[in-house]
Structure 1
Amino acid sequence: MSNVSFRSVSKTYGNVRALDNLELDIREGEFISLLGPSGSGKSTTLNLLAGLQDVSGGRVFIGERDVTDLPPEKRDLALVFQNYALYPHMTLFENIAFPLRAKSPVPSASDIERKVRSTAEALGIGDLLARYPKEISGGQQQRVALGRAMVRDPRVFLLDEPLSNLDARLRIRMRRDLRALHAQLRSTIVYVTHDQSEAMTLSDRIAVFSDGKLQQLGTPEDIYYRPANTFIANFIGDREANLFPVEISRVGDRLELAGAGLTIRLDRALDAAKARSALAGIRPDSVELVAPDSSQASGVAEVVDQELVGADLYVFVKTGAGVEICSRRDPRQRLRLGEPVGISVRQGDVHLFDASTEVCISPGDAGILERQE
């Protein structure tokens, strides 16, 4: 079994708690990303699983085996580092073969030859085995590092930001390669990254960390459409969510939100609406700019800034209440600074958060996702 479990795992450095009471189950054959900003606890989690750091409290299991006190070499894991750590004086063949030759007993030369070549062919570097690391590209070096891990047939692969040293275009290409490799191997992969695009495109599930705590665990769709709190709503997405306080009232069978110079009506049941106030969270792609007198407008604002980012144009508008709202729109539909616009919000995409705890009390699109599952 190659499932992984953390049970009440903590890591402290003096008075600093780097990881706080982690409860996490990773399924066998799953590709899971540990995502978060620097200092969030994601790398600490990986290091504790690898045995590179000692656990301060709790237990770590791989399958049914408690590995908390085992040294790294006894855990049957393979770790791929950010810098690849290839031996420059060895050929690619020798680099990939190194873990096999370090085993006891050492496999036969024919077995090593067969294993290395089959692994290299699977990674598309079979014709490069006679070369040295300095003679190949960064993407090819990354494949060699993966090959050195794969050749051991480990129970779990641990990947520590393996694409961060590649240029942007190559990173995107390597994501597809990693997805294809996981589909082929069906091994358990634990992937550490601070890049949400990598996590969203590669993962079966994502574990989002902040301040040493697991904030949310779910599929990429869950993380994006059902943020557990305001941190997730702001951290996930190309731009931060528009967050502003609203007063909640009930008008007939609908909820009405009033705040930031906007009046938004929601067709949804909400027991938590017994609370009279909340934080509304709306992603820029759920905000449309319309004519000021449009019947779709929830309020009127003025254009104060624009940012062109490739195929997207981010427009910043300020409402009469002085609150800035960001909208993503077609860059061919440019607006003038100072131009009045109406703000139309897709009401199904509005997330509501408790004003004091900032925990989500009503995610947008929840009903849509439930029908898809």
Structure 2
Amino acid sequence: MKKEFITPEGDTFTALDGINLDIVPGEFFVMLGPSGCGKTTLLRSIAGLEQPTSGEIWLGNEQIDQLPPYKRRVNTVFQAYALFPHLTVRQNIAFGLEMQGLKAKSPEVVARVDEMLELVGLSEFGNRHPAQLSGGQQQRVALARALAKKPDVLLLDEPLSALDLKLRRGMQTELKRIQMESGITFVFVTHDQEEAMSMGDRIAVFNRGQVAQLGAPRELYAEPANRFVAEFIGEMNFLSVTEEGGSARTDGGVLLEQAALVSPLKSAESVTVGIRPEHLHVSPNGSFAGEIIASEYIGTDLRLCVRHASDEKLWARVDADYDGPRNVGDTVSLALAANSVRAVRS
């Protein structure tokens, strides 16, 4: 699928280019990427709020890209919850059902609203107004309203971005529970890689209007397909190396033993390799000896940045209770774990 926009200056901007995705029914599918990468444009295209320049969108056996939004079996939860302030929680949830011609006090609507209130954990808040709820509770109401119409697919456009960190993490768990209990396909857009990793069954990493890699969270982290994904998912150190007798030598002259390589390099091959900070540990006989130029305590870990004599820099993560050299200016050496150095293609 392709989507182009015309800028005010008359230039053509390609927001989506060659997108081809197959989302499995009943999965929690995440579209992840930086701002402007095309993920929200694709979500809006599925919802019917944008029209693709070319390509098709199918929901099951039905092609929906030519259908108006109200005829698509999808519903959307936006970043702004857009609750009606003058309506109660129950009335907000029932609103979509009433638009389908059902009576607000009919047994069907009452039962459906009760079911949604229980699903999102707000059974005791049905008669309150949105202003009487916390941000997390308002988010649940918006979710309940979207689910009440029993869509085949629920689209969520960064719905947690306005919440504080603690509340956001709690809602991540709740969203995953609700998705599993409802069995509805969730398509979730976010720029937060930790959020994506904690909830997604599969993740599509977007970059400049294309899917850089698609896979399960563990696959994206352990086997990034290219440098963009390696940098965007978690943390990664990058070094330029050349194959040398089955091992690899960095541009700074450090020899990386063959046991540290995930897979052998081609003879005399020059490549960029990536090393996760957690695969480096402090050791008296470590390959990388140098000065600590940054030390960051983050509660569960201590992050150390070590500058080797060749001016190569490596970040390492060690236990928070590590009592060795840890301050800026201290000298320390870092050793590599086995199978921790992976060639990273551009």
Residue in 2 that maps onto 1:351: 342
Contact 2:274/2:342, CA 8 A, preserved across alignment: yes
Alignment CA distance shift 1:192-1:316 (3 Å)? same
Give the drift of 1:186.
1.5
Q: Given the alignment of the two structures, is residue 340 of structure 1 paired with residue 338 of structure 2, yes or no?
A: no
Indicate the larger mover: 102-111 or 241-250: 102-111
- TM-superposition CA deviations, 1:91-130 (whole Å, max 9, x none): 1111000000000465871111111111111211111111
Distance 1:33 1:280 in 2: 27
Question: Which residue number corresponds to residue 365 of structure 1?
Answer: none
Alignment-derived partner of residue 238 in structure 2: 243
- The separation in 1 between residues aligned to 2:264 and 2:250, in whole angstroms, is 18
- Which 5+ residue runs of structure 2 have no aligned equivalent? 7-11
Of residues 38, 43, 47, the one that matches 1:41 is 38
| Partner Cα separation in structure 1 for residue 46 and residue 174 of structure 2 | 25
Pairs within 5 Å for 1:1-373: 9-14=1-6, 15-104=12-101, 109-237=106-234, 240-251=235-246, 255-267=247-259, 270=263, 273-274=266-267, 276-291=269-284, 294=285, 297-333=286-322, 334-354=325-345, 358=346
Partner SS for 2:186: strand
Q: CA deviation at 1:335?
A: 1.8
Name the % identity.
38
Report the secondary structure of 2:305's partner residue.
Answer: strand
- 1:4 matched to which residue of 2? none
How many Å apart are 1:313 and its aligned residue? 1.3
**Are the aligned partners of 1:43 and 1:160 in contact in 2 as well (CA < 8 Å)?**
yes
What is the CA distance between 1:45 and its match in structure 2? Answer: 1.0
Matching residue's letter, 1:127: E
Kept in 2, the 8 Å contact 1:261–1:319? The answer is no
Distance change in 2, residues 1:272/1:247 (3 Å): closer
Q: Quote the Cα distance in structure 2 between the aligned partners of 1:298 and 1:271.
A: 19
Q: Give CA deviations for 1:150-181 in whole Å, capped at 9, x if unaligned.
A: 11000000011111111111111111111111
Q: Which moved more, 1:328-337 or 1:40-49?
A: 328-337
> Any conservation in 1 of the 2:290–2:309 contact (CA below 8 Å)?
yes
- C-alpha distance in 2 between matches for 1:50 and 1:298: 53
Provide closer, same or farther for how the CA distance between residues 214 and 110 of structure 1 changes in structure 2, counting only shifts above 3 A. same
Aligned-residue offset at 1:266: 2.5
2:55 aligned counterpart, secondary structure:
strand
| CA distance in 2 between partners of 1:60 and 1:272 (Å) | 41
Counterpart secondary structure, 1:55? coil
How far, CA to CA, are the matches of 1:348 and 1:300 in structure 2?
Answer: 20
Asked whether the 8 Å contact 1:157–1:188 carries over to 2, the reply is yes
CA distance in 2, matches of 1:259, 1:312: 29
Root-mean-square deviation (CA, aligned residues, Å) is 1.7
* CA distance 1:244–1:206, change in 2 (3 Å): same
Other structure's SS at 1:23 match: coil
| Closer/same/farther in 2, CA of residues 134 and 115 from structure 1, 3 Å limit | same
State the shift of 1:290 in Å. 1.7
Deviation at 1:51, TM superposition (A): 0.7
Equivalent residue pairs, number:
338
Per-residue deviation at 1:274? 4.1
Give the Cα separation in 2 of the matches to 1:51 and 1:275.
52
For 1:208 and 1:106, locate their aligned partners in 2 and report how far apart those are by CA, in whole Å.
43
SS of the residue corresponding to residue 213 of structure 2 reads: strand
